[in-house]
Amino acid sequence: MNVYENIGGIMAKQRTAVIGAGKMGGIHAKVYSKIENCELVAVVDTQIEKAERIAKEFGCKALTDCKELIGQVDAVTISAPTIYHLELAEDFIKNGIAVMIEKPLAANVEQGKRIVELAEKHNTVVAVGHSERCNPVVQAMKRLEIEPKFIEANRISPYPFRSSDVGVVLDVMIHDIDIILSLAASKIKKVDACGVNVIGDHEDICNARLVFENGCVANITASRLAMKTERKLRVFSRQAYLSLDYFKKDGIVIQAAPNVDLMKWIKEHQADPEFDFSQANWAEMLHIEPLNIEDAEPLLVEQESFLKAVAEHDARPEVTAKEGLNAMECAEMILEKIKEHKWD
């Protein structure tokens, strides 16, 4: 069923625009063009030739001034450089136009707080493009409603030859920070971290440990100097163990209930010193299931969730401005701990 269908019929089309005609701007415009109940009105960029290239492809206007969109659209996606996020978002929010902002939310925490305050003051939907939250494996995990006790995330890749103005924490680790915060559903109690810069002025490798007030602990590793690409998450809880692969879009789940008899059998035979466990194969004895994954394009899920929140007062985007701010605040704590770490 289309996300805009309801008992009363079909919602009106949402008029949208994309700010920024770079690579991500083009991708967002393409995704908007796929959504049935969406009309892509314009692409805006200070370099008109860039805007025209994307606008021609998707049959919309090309503009250089965002102010021309006021009164013409219901929602915009901002994929311009991060330093302009607050400046661009402010006019739209004040005019009641919903905003999707590519991650990170803003150039710094103070600017992020300003965006959140504006959204609350003007009762305007503001979402953040943490698209990994919309990865099919994350969506599948969310449906299980588990309560994690320990989380381990690894996100490594060869050097990307981009984003040299920020370190690996704000570049890629922030994806896992956002997901972990949503899973832990608790305030951070303690942060410890260390990072190493090898190529530039910012950290290329980082490991962080987060301890939450509810007792959950998360260990996060990010590197852009690896020999391979790996994006994995492991979650341990009383209900289940999950192993997820974002890159391959697959995963397994070992739930506690189907393995109760196995645990009982092990305990009974451990009490017998004569019993021989040498032939027991732990992996074969466990009840392991593949994670039930419904494959969908993450950006499409993200944009549909955003537009649904624009159309329906009781709906919310996949990642709210407040959640985007929480991820930034956690990333800032990690970066502070990196500075404090003593190597000698």
Do residues 340 and 172 make contact, with C-beta atoms less than 8 angstroms apart?
no
Which 8-state DSSP code applies to residue 70? T
Matching fold, domains 5-130+299-315 and 134-297+329-340? no
Q: What is the pTM of this model?
A: 0.88
Tokens coding 23: 């690579």
Q: What is the pLDDT of residue 283?
A: 77
The residue among 317, 284, 309, 323 whose CA lies nearest residue 74 is 309
Q: Could you name the CATH architecture of 5-130+299-315?
A: 3-Layer(aba) Sandwich (3.40)
Residue 143 is predicted with a pLDDT of 87
In this prediction, residue 203 carries a pLDDT of: 94
**Backbone phi, then psi, for 180, in 5-degree steps?**
-65, -40
Q: Which fold has domain 134-297+329-340?
A: Dihydrodipicolinate Reductase; domain 2 (3.30.360)
Cβ–Cβ < 8 Å for 218, 184: yes
Q: How far is CA 177 from CA 55, 171, 206, 219, in A?
A: 34, 11, 12, 10
Residue where the block lists tokens 């063009």: 33
pLDDT in the model for residue 99: 97
Calpha distance 167→97 (Å, rounded): 32
Q: Provide the token pair at 157.
A: 């890749």
Instruction: Give, for all 344 residues of the chain, the pLDDT tens digit.
Output: 233 333 233 446 899 999 999 999 999 999 999 898 899 999 999 999 999 999 999 999 999 999 999 999 999 999 999 999 999 999 999 999 999 999 999 999 999 999 999 999 999 999 999 999 999 999 999 888 889 999 999 999 999 887 667 899 998 999 999 999 999 999 999 999 999 999 988 999 999 999 999 999 999 999 999 999 999 999 999 888 999 999 899 999 988 777 778 878 888 888 888 888 887 887 777 788 888 888 889 999 999 999 999 999 889 999 999 999 999 999 999 999 999 987 87
DSSP strands (E only) in 118-187: 126-129, 148-156
Return d(Cα 182, Cα 142) in angstroms, integer. 9
To the nearest 10°, report the CA torsion of 322, 223, 247, 255: -70
Sequence-ordered list of residues with C-beta below 8 angstroms from that of 19, at least 6 positions apart, any chain: 25, 44, 45, 66, 76, 77, 78, 79, 80, 88
Cβ-based neighbour number of residue 65 at 10 Å: 8
Q: Where are the domains of the chain?
A: 5-130+299-315, 134-297+329-340
- β strands within the chain, DSSP E: 5-6, 9-10, 14-19, 38-44, 61-63, 75-78, 98-102, 126-129, 148-156, 188-196, 205-212, 217-223, 230-237, 240-245, 250-255, 289-290
Rounded Cα–Cα distance for residues 271 and 11 (Å):
65
- Residue 77 token pair: 């996606």
